[in-house]
A and B are shown apart, each in its own frame.
Chain A
């Protein structure tokens, strides 16, 4: 071992004067910029090329207030990360930990508000591939959903009839809806006037599938009214407003209106599907980034001592600011413009 001269030249450091981890984070953010610009750019281009793009909040269920609050939440969390990083530089680890906790909490708030917005969209069936874009499609959507609702009711009542032993013999084949409907009506006749209240009530329910003479509207049943609507939809000449009216009639029936609860009010939205695709793609990937950011902060917060975690906090902070940055553009583009 030789004695080092006191005026030794410091060893030459190769590369940039920043930690490798920070360089890597910036390179990663470079790819992230391209990733999100691809989505945002395609969205803008698609919008410019589609006259009549849905913007009415009554139609799209976009809530400006929710987006605005979320913008504030992310900006505040970004500020907290900066404060936490600053505290790490000053070796004030307890302060850093407190602000990172607040950042994590704000990320939870952001996702909570986002889930509330997603819930609204799912509730109104504003989902890619689910949206009718014209009156005809809207009518067929009503038909498809009503058919599903009626099939569900049939299933439910057949199980009930089986549990009450109401069938003379099981219909053959057991999956033929018309045979099952007939068997239910027969079962209703059998149970009618039964002194057991459960059986009498079931008989009333089974009559929902009766198919009386269409000439007398006072004798109409759930199934006959559904069939009348189906016929009108398939004729393709009855206007949407009339179908809407019929659907409202079905839904408001006191005895069996609930069967049609899952059928959505028909509202055609031009370009609704591409709008929903863009919305869910962009906000979905952004939310995924929020979750990943939360994992990064959770890793730091799990450490008993934050000494030596300065670079990690700085890099996850850079990532978090980028997530904020993306939202800064998504908010005006999706919620305001």
Chain B
């Protein structure tokens, strides 16, 4: 019985492969076409999630496995999310200002570059 269903899954693999290729092309298109940054991020990460689900469901056969898949994958998924979530408040979204000297220098560097560009073009009155 177990072998039976894998027989008629066979032609589907090529379809999944084609879908994955199309998804990859969409990600590259999202990079080539000028999109607002937020739209691009959401687009490529959604595409990546779709691709991951295709691989998990069909190539890794999770679609056809029994309930053990939930027991096995739920704890690891929860724990995997733990670390980024734990780091998020302090590193990703700090409420305090950061003392990063190179950031000030970088702002200065950009300012210099801007001035230099202006200088090379039309000299603006100081």
Contact = CB atoms under 8 A, between A and B. Distances in A.
A pairs with B: yes
Contacts of A137: 102
A49 interface: yes
B80 A34 contact: yes
A337 B41 contact: yes
A83 B98 CA distance: 53
Interface string A315-329: 001100110110011
Best-buried of A30, A31, A136, A335 by chain B (most CB within 10 Å) = A30
Contact of A270 (B28, B40, B59, B106): B106
Best-buried of B47, B51, B60 by chain A (most CB within 10 Å) = B60
Contacts of B98: 49
A86 B13 contact: yes
B74 to A, nearest CB: 10
A56 B91 CA distance: 23
A42 B24 CA distance: 24
Interface string A159-179: 000000000000000000000
Given A45-B91, A78-B59, A71 B44 contact: no
Contact of B28 (A68, A83, A136): A68
Nearest to A272: B102
Interface string B115-126: 010000000000
Best-buried of B13, B28, B112 by chain A (most CB within 10 Å) = B28
Contacts of B84: 37, 40-42, 44-45
A75 B24 contact: yes
Contact of A72 (B24, B58, B77): B24
Contacts of A17: 66
A33 interface: yes
Contact of B72 (A30, A48, A89, A268): A30
Main secondary structure of the interface of B (DSSP, over half): helix
Interface string A34-71: 10011011101110110110000000000010001001
Contact of A136 (B10, B52, B76, B105): B105
Main secondary structure of the interface of A (DSSP, over half): helix
Contacts, number: 152
Contacts of B68: 16, 18, 23
Contacts of B31: 64, 335-336
Interface residues of A, number: 59
A34 B73 CA distance: 11
B54 to A, nearest CB: 9
9 nearest CB pairs, A to B: A41-B84, A134-B105, A37-B80, A30-B76, A332-B44, A48-B92, A79-B17, A133-B102, A45-B92
21 contacts: A16-B66, A30-B75, A33-B73, A33-B80, A34-B80, A37-B80, A41-B83, A49-B93, A71-B27, A78-B59, A82-B13, A86-B10, A86-B13, A134-B105, A135-B112, A240-B109, A270-B102, A321-B56, A332-B45, A333-B48, A336-B40
Interface of B: 3, 6, 10, 13-14, 16-17, 20-21, 24, 27-28, 30-31, 40-41, 44-45, 47-48, 51-52, 55-56, 58-60, 65-66, 68-69, 72-73, 75-77, 79-81, 83-84, 87-88, 91-94, 98, 101-103, 105-106, 108-109, 112, 116
Interface of A: 16-18, 23, 26-27, 30-31, 33-34, 37-38, 40-42, 44-46, 48-49, 51-52, 64, 68, 71-72, 75-76, 78-79, 81-83, 86, 89, 133-137, 239-241, 268, 270, 317-318, 321-322, 324-325, 328-329, 331-333, 335-337
